[in-house]
Amino acid sequence: MRLFTCLSLSPDVRESVSAVQARLQSSGANLRWTPSEQFHLTVTFVGELPDPSLLPEVEAVCAQIAAETVPFRFRVAGVSTFPKRGETIKTVILNITEGAESWKQLVLRSEPWLAPFGAKREGGLAAHITLGRVKGGDNLPDLRDAIAREAVTDCGEQTADELVLIESALSPTGATYIKRSAWQFTGE
């Protein structure tokens, strides 16, 4: 059972992100595009749970994290890539601008709680939504041009008000996401 926690996107923001992705897809570049129903802002990647019977403990920890978290606003804006430097493009992303510091604090609070279940401490934290991963070199100049046109695109702002636990089942065609639970942020 492969798990991660995340923030879901509001319907309006998800629709805007989907429109940006569609414009990028018109470049004809060879990417594995993220299905729109899977757009999210990752908080903590737990990974493979060593024993599925630990799921209730993971859920209890997530409930505690949510109880200590104050809702916050974040903005999704500006297409860019990973890595950030050099000619290589591996992943096309939308950045989180406003609210990125609140997200980072949530990540830093969550990781120690989830470390006993396999979560690793992340290094360079970058709040983002993954749009697609490059699978080949086809039409990369056109993709770069499309990314440059979307570099300041604003997909909107929303409130982060719940922590979601997702199970990610891998297959040759990609991941299938199963929402396990969600907890409202009730911190003060």
Render pLDDT for 25-37 as a digit per residue (tens, 0 to 9): 999 999 999 999 9
Percent of the chain beyond pLDDT 70?
Answer: 98
Picking from 57, 49, 27, the residue whose alpha carbon sits closest to that of residue 132 is 27
25/131 Cα distance (integer angstroms): 10
| Mean pLDDT score across all residues of the chain | 93
Fold topology of 2-184: Cyclic Phosphodiesterase; Chain: A, (3.90.1140)
**Residue 134 DSSP SS3:** strand
